[in-house]
Amino acid sequence: MSDLSLDATQLDRYSRHIILDDVGPEGQKRLLEGSALVVGAGGLGAPVIQYLAAAGVGRLGIVDDDVVERSNLQRQVIHRDADVGRPKAESAEEFVADLNPDIEVEAMERRIAPEEARNLVADYDVVVDCTDNFPTRYMLNDACQIEGVPLCHGAIYKFEGQITTLSPDGPCYRCLFPEAPEPGTVPDCATTGVLGVLPGTVGCLQATEAVKVLLGLGETLTGRLLFYDARELSFETVPYQRNPDCPVCGDDGIDDLAGVDYDGGCGVASD
Amino acid sequence: MEVTVELVGEGERTVSVPADADYAAVVRELGYSPHEVTVLVDGSPVPEDAPVDADHVRVLRLIAGG
């Protein structure tokens, strides 16, 4: 692979990557040939989409079933006032087109169904979990584990965030949180509020992990959960291990999603 | 018995629970519902209804927002 495969405009656009040790023209080509599925185009999805598009990740899938509301604009920085009422996936697609014409976007205005989850994630090199609900979060974990696709997870609450990377050869989300909480027992941003810049920080860390996965660079957060407290501006690392009895990635883990009740507590039916 | 709990993001504290208490009792002592958190012993979650057999645990809250 040589830098001749990048045209003059790309050499200019990505010059700070190209001159960077451990990325270079080969790494940039890898990003341009790479793909990422971003699930959720809200608080976390906005910076993830922004930075993956700017970095030149060649194909971005963007899934969101919601429309832009004015109350989103305090933190969802890819959407504009004029986008209020538009589907977030459509608004995000337009943002990417304006930012970087190198990027092919597949905008999906829907919530992922269990029947399509495995095929959908398998079509990408990396998946970024920017969801705001547990059923989709557990579904992504399960589908990515079965299909062997890395998943960069992030979640936010008030002033704090959690980030980890779920690799095919590492522990999964269920190894850390075996089952989803009962609906309504864990508050969301709409009921508690959230610091506007918080998803920017957390989403940038997720994007960092996704780029590293695509480049095969450095050490990811596999087996480590990074806890971020914006009030204290502190980070804490929580190590966790693979559970041999995990119903998804354990020794007798599932190989399809048919037995998982995503409408309930995301429990996995035992044989 | 006394259990040292590291509540991620909120620091460490010691709670007292009966000798036959389960991990759910430890969590409730912290003011949380077992649905809201996972209890880790040596990096692995333990069932909420399992009897406490560790003197140091880490508690991590589930958060939903995106």
Record the tokens describing residue A192, joined without a space.
């508690």
For chain A, how big is the Rg over CA atoms in Å?
Answer: 18
- CATH number, domain of B40, equals 3.10.20.30
- Whether A7 is covered by a domain: the verdict is no
Angle at A229 between CA A92 and CA A265, to 5 degrees: 65
**CA-wise closest residue to A207 among A25, A7, A6, A31:** A31
Using CA atoms, how far apart are residues A249 and A175, in angstroms rounded to an integer? 8
Mutate to test the interface with B, among A49, A136, A177 (most CBs of B within 10 A): A177
3-state secondary structure (DSSP) of residue A244: coil
Distance from the Cα of B19 to chain A's closest Cα (Å) equals: 26
Interface test with B, best of A163, A175, A176 (most B CBs within 10 A): A176
CA A14 to chain centre: 23
Asked whether residue B46 is domain-assigned, the answer is yes
| Structural domain includes residue A188 | yes
If you measure CA to CA, which chain A residue comes closest to B47? A178
In chain B the first and final C-alpha atoms are separated, in Å, by 39
Does the residue B6 lie in any domain? Answer: yes
Residue in A130, A152, A189, A246 annotated catalytic: A189
Q: What is the CATH number of the domain that holds A110?
A: 3.40.50.720
The domain in which residue B33 lies consists of: 2-61
| Per-residue pLDDT, A2 | 47
* Dihedral sign from CA coordinates of A249, A251, A256, A261: negative
Q: Is B66 part of a structural domain of the chain?
A: no
CB atoms within 10 A of CB A98: 10
User: Are B57 and B14 contacting, i.e. CB atoms less than 8 angstroms apart?
Assistant: no
Q: Is there a domain that residue A17 lies in?
A: no
Q: What's the pLDDT score for residue A211? A: 98
Q: Domain for residue A242, yes or no?
A: yes
Q: pLDDT value at position A179?
A: 84
Has residue A10 been placed in a domain? Answer: no
Confirm whether A1 is domain-assigned: no
Q: Closest by alpha carbon to B3, among B29, B31, B42, B33?
A: B29
Q: Is A189 part of the annotated catalytic residue set?
A: yes
Average pLDDT of the residues in B47-57: 95
- Examine residue A8 and state whether it is found in any structural domain, yes or no: no
> A136 and chain B: CB distance < 8 Å anywhere?
no
Interface touch A157/B33, C-beta < 8 Å: no
A24: left (phi over 0), alpha (psi -120 to 50) or beta: left
Which residues span the domain enclosing A172?
34-268
Query: A48 - beta bridge partners?
Result: none
Low-confidence residues of chain A: pLDDT under 70 = 1-4, 270-271
Tell me the per-residue pLDDT of B21-40, one tens digit each, with 9 for 90 and over. Answer: 999 999 999 999 998 999 99
Residue A42, amino acid: G
Query: Does residue B27 fall inside a structural domain?
Result: yes
Strand-pair partners of A227: A162, A236
Looking at residue A59, its pLDDT comes to 98
In chain B, how many domains are there? 1
Domain count, chain A: 1
- Euclidean distance between CA atoms B38 and B33, whole angstroms: 10
B43 pLDDT exceeds 70?
yes
Q: Find, in chain B, the residue whose alpha carbon is nearest to that of A43.
A: B66
- CB distance B3 to B14 below 8 Å: yes
Closest CA to A128 of A246, A46, A26, A187: A46
The ipTM (two decimal places) reads 0.92
